[in-house]
Amino acid sequence: MALLEIHDLEVKFALRSGPVTALRDISFSLDRGQRLGIVGESGAGKSVAAFSILNLISRPGYISKGKILFDGNDLAQLNPSQLRNVRGNRISMIFQDPMMTLNPVLTVGAQMVESLQAHTRISRQEARKIALEKLRLVHIPSPEKRLDQYPHELSGGMKQRIIIAIALLLNPDIIIADEPTTALDVTIQAEIMDLLLELCEDRNLGLILITHDLGVVSQVTERTIVMYAGRIIEMGPTKEIINDAQHPYTQGLINALPQQGIPGRRLNQIPGSMPPLQQLPNGCAFHPRCAYAKAACKEQIPAFTQSGGCQVACHMVAELVNQAGKSPALENSPSTGQDS
Amino acid sequence: MSTLVEIRNLHKRFPIHGDLLDRIRLKGGRLELREENVHAINGVDLTVNKGEALCIVGESGCGKSTVARTVMGLIEPSEGSVHYQGQRIDNLSPREMMSYRRRMQMIFQNPYASLNPRMSITETLEEPIRFHQSDLGKAEMKDKVAEVMQAVGVDPSWGKRFPHEFSGGQRQRISIARALIVDPEFIVADEPISALDVSIQAQVLNLMMDAQEQRGLTYLFITHDLSVVEHFGARVAVMYLGRICEVAPTRTLFAQPRHPYSQALLSAIPRLEDERPRFIRLQGEVPTPVNLPSGCVFHGRCPHANDRCRNEIPALRQVDDVQISCHAVEENRIASG
Ligand SMILES: Nc1ncnc2c1ncn2[C@@H]1O[C@H](COP(=O)(O)OP(=O)(O)OP(=O)(O)O)[C@@H](O)[C@H]1O
Ligand SMILES: Nc1ncnc2c1ncn2[C@@H]1O[C@H](COP(=O)(O)OP(=O)(O)OP(=O)(O)O)[C@@H](O)[C@H]1O
Ligand code: SF4
Ligand SMILES: [Mg+2]
Ligand SMILES: [Mg+2]
């Protein structure tokens, strides 16, 4: 059994117009030392998935189905203090917006000491020592000085390092990072990604990295989940997904990247755009944009098919793979969904 | 190749209006009012050739948008000048500027903020025609609106709808339509695809490339996404702290960046084939544009900086088809590769 296991998770939002399903059929697992990427376009459900893992989804959202097991325990069954223990001590989260974590009116040191003292019984002095050690770990220049600075005195890259240091305070097993570098410049993004990778490798941390940048996923993660309209549509080893994507959407996404085009020529675009949750079409949510869609795609939500090392939710995988001249090992997973 | 737009020795300083008490200093027994400025642009020379797409890249705050807005005449330069087909345009009266306003159009980053939420798409597209081509008849105007909507892939029957009924990509298409409708020659696009998803970015980039080909447009294209530049631009200007580091044909720059900052910037692009993050690590942090470093603005972070770099501002020098401002390059101190 893996340290973190998500089974058949479904999340709904109770909107005035009625409930909408924001996530469905989400199943995956993660162990210490593993690095998992979650990619997808804006609104695909990446952040909702991250928040749900920590049972942090708040009204109007709620978990309507499925289980989240951490160390064998169902998070839904834990009492508030047990849940707080998992959230702080075992799984940390890094948010896209640094100010979701940093309090603008407290110095960096005060915040770090406060976090530590909220979870463990230690003196202020000891807490400061641990804080300093974590700042060193994330390679912050002159860490002693930083302890007494306020967030606004720090650059964006420095703030994100401090947030990583805060996430490391209680020696978690898993870090969930939701677009940790989206607001930062590429040179700083590269440094932060390098740091995350180093921490995972040196400290055997599990990482869930949420991003929309396939290049970043490729640099940092071993496995990748591709999401579309609230569902996992492809999941497998990162290299396989990047080099040999099976799902038409993943293929389209990779082919649309300027890196994949011939300079000056038109890019391979996917027509249309991702539908809002309230207007999901029947069948495969991607079918209105898909060049391979057949009748079944318009009626039935595709179940997962094993193809190579990947799980692919597409009715046409077998045919697509056969067309490419390969013989896939077909195997349907138990999760079959009928659109409601 | 003829020059369409020329920027000469452009400087832009924004005064910082802090608290009066913060700005008062006692100096030599006298009270002094301290003047502080953000040095957004610090001597930029740049030419845009007719028919090309010139990209400006650089990190947040390096002055890209300020260059764009100065070229468009939306802000006044502190020093230097902007020329359009040889005519100086940065000091024209609003009336004199009118004819240039039609020929030069701008597309902004945020397709949500740049469209008036209370105007239907048809109204949004008719407005610039009424303003610039008031002699056009009603029927002609209608045809024109339909034609441009078709060109950007927005169904003309949607004209009665309002911006909030469209997705981000569709809104950006409408912004592009609004720029194209007055038949401009030159389009300044400030991060036009940064707010869009990958699959939609490709649609909008394709649209911009098609429009360029069909209408012979010239672009000044601003972005921080280098892989977009590699795909889209004919030439690239790399900026750092309000100065130009390097201007080169896109292919040349990506094959062999020469300025130390260009090298670092390009090394940091995450590539699909990467196994881990690989990049040239810079020392230090980006200085504030309030207190500009002496000499080369990049010297504090540059692995090749020496005393000359710390004291003397490197000029932009032409080497083959590339312009570079770096002492180390001039002195051949950087091993190429
Ligand atoms: N509080 C909420 N109420 C209603 N709908 C919500 C709420 N929060 C999120 N959603 C919807 O859930 C869907 C998934 O949102 P989510 O934030 O997970 O997307 P994402 O993949 O993280 O996108 P991004 O890349 O923009 O961060 C979206 O359609 C969003 O509109
Ligand atoms: N109106 C203004 N008043 C004061 N400072 C300004 C003003 N406009 C821009 N600046 C400053 O000038 C510098 C350059 O800003 P500019 O917006 O041109 O950068 P940019 O390269 O477009 O950055 P980004 O990639 O974040 O859009 C920044 O330090 C900015 O804070
Ligand atoms: S001039 Fe000097 S400091 Fe500036 S980039 Fe060149 S080597 Fe580096
Ligand atoms: Mg999100
Ligand atoms: Mg800008």
Ligand approaching nearest to the C-alpha of B289: 2
Alpha-carbon gap, residue B206 to B212, rounded angstroms: 10
A302, A313 Cβ separation under 8 angstroms:
yes
Choose the closest CB to B282 out of A187, A259, A267: A187
Query: CA of A190 to nearest chain B CA: how many angstroms apart?
Result: 6
Q: How many angstroms is it from B239 CA to the middle of ligand 3?
A: 13
Question: In this structure, what token pair is assigned to residue B160?
Answer: 């009665």
Q: In this predicted structure, what is the pLDDT of residue A335?
A: 38
B164: left (phi over 0), alpha (psi -120 to 50) or beta: alpha
B77, B10 Cβ separation under 8 angstroms:
yes
Cβ <8 Å between A258 and B231: yes
Residue A182 pLDDT class (50, 70, 90 cuts): confident
Query: CA of A271 to nearest chain B CA: how many angstroms apart?
Result: 8
Residue A194: closest CA among chain B residues belongs to which residue? B277
For residue B173 and ligand 3, the question of a CB distance below 6 A is answered with no
Residue A186: closest CA among chain B residues belongs to which residue? B268
Residue A322 belongs to a domain: yes
Cβ <8 Å between A256 and B250: no
Ranges in chain B, pLDDT < 70: 18-23, 336-337
Q: Which atom of ligand 1 is nearest to the CA of A179?
A: 27
Question: What residues does B285 pair with on adjacent strands?
Answer: none
Higher confidence at residue A250 or residue A263?
A: A250
Provide, as residue numbers in chain B, all residues whose Cβ is less than 8 Å from the Cβ of A242.
Answer: 272
For residue B289 and ligand 3, the question of a CB distance below 6 A is answered with no
Please, what is the angle between helix A124-137 and helix A156-168, to 10°?
120
Residue A310 belongs to a domain: yes
Choose the closest CB to B281 out of A191, A212, A268: A191
Residue A21 belongs to a domain: no
Q: In this predicted structure, what is the pLDDT of residue A256?
A: 93
Q: What's the structural domain count of chain A?
A: 1
Residue A146 belongs to a domain: no
% of chain A residues with pLDDT over 70: 95
Least confident of A51-60, A169-178, A205-214, A324-333: A324-333
- Which residue, by CA, sits nearest to atom 4 of ligand 2? B14
Chain B interface includes A258 (CB < 8 A): yes
Residue A260 belongs to a domain: yes
**A140: how many CB neighbours lie within 10 A of its CB?**
21
- Which residue, by CA, sits nearest to atom 16 of ligand 2? B63
B259, B333 Cβ separation under 8 angstroms:
no
Alpha-carbon gap, residue B150 to B152, rounded angstroms: 5
Domain of A272, in residue numbers: 244-330
Cβ <8 Å between A258 and B230: yes
Alpha-carbon gap, residue A317 to A302, rounded angstroms: 10
For residue B39 and ligand 2, the question of a CB distance below 6 A is answered with no
Chain B interface includes A149 (CB < 8 A): no
Ligand 2 pocket test, candidate residues B13, B44, B64, most atoms within 8 A of CB: B64
For residue A19 and ligand 1, the question of a CB distance below 6 A is answered with no
Chain B interface includes A291 (CB < 8 A): no
Residue A289 belongs to a domain: yes
Residue B208: closest CA among chain A residues belongs to which residue? A266
**B214: how many CB neighbours lie within 10 A of its CB?**
10
Ligand approaching nearest to the C-alpha of A22: 1
Q: In this predicted structure, what is the pLDDT of residue A98?
A: 80
Residue in this structure with the two tokens 């009603």, named with its chain if needed: B138
Average confidence (pLDDT) over A198-221: 95
Residues 6+ apart with CB under 8 A from B313: B43, B295, B296
B313-322 burial: b if 16+ Cβ within 10 Å, else e:
bbebeeeeeb
Q: In this predicted structure, what is the pLDDT of residue A327?
A: 39
Q: Residue B240: name the closest of B67, B72, B74 by CA.
A: B67
B12-51 burial: b if 16+ Cβ within 10 Å, else e:
bbbeeeeeeeeeeeeeeeeeeeeeeebbbbbbbbbbbbeb
Q: In this predicted structure, what is the pLDDT of residue A338?
A: 37
Residue A284 belongs to a domain: yes
Residue A156 pLDDT class (50, 70, 90 cuts): confident
Q: In this predicted structure, what is the pLDDT of residue A326?
A: 44
Question: What residues does B235 pair with on adjacent strands?
Answer: B54, B249
Residue B250, exposed/middle/buried by CB under 10 A (0-12, 13-18, 19+)? buried
Residue A300 belongs to a domain: yes
Q: Is the peptide bond before A80 cis (omega within 30 degrees of 0)?
A: no
Q: What is the pLDDT of residues A129-141, one digit of tens each?
A: 999 999 999 988 8
B302, B284 Cβ separation under 8 angstroms:
no
Q: In this predicted structure, what is the pLDDT of residue A324?
A: 62
For the cut 50, the answer to whether the pLDDT of residue A108 exceeds it is yes
Sign of CA dihedral A167, A168, A174, A179: positive
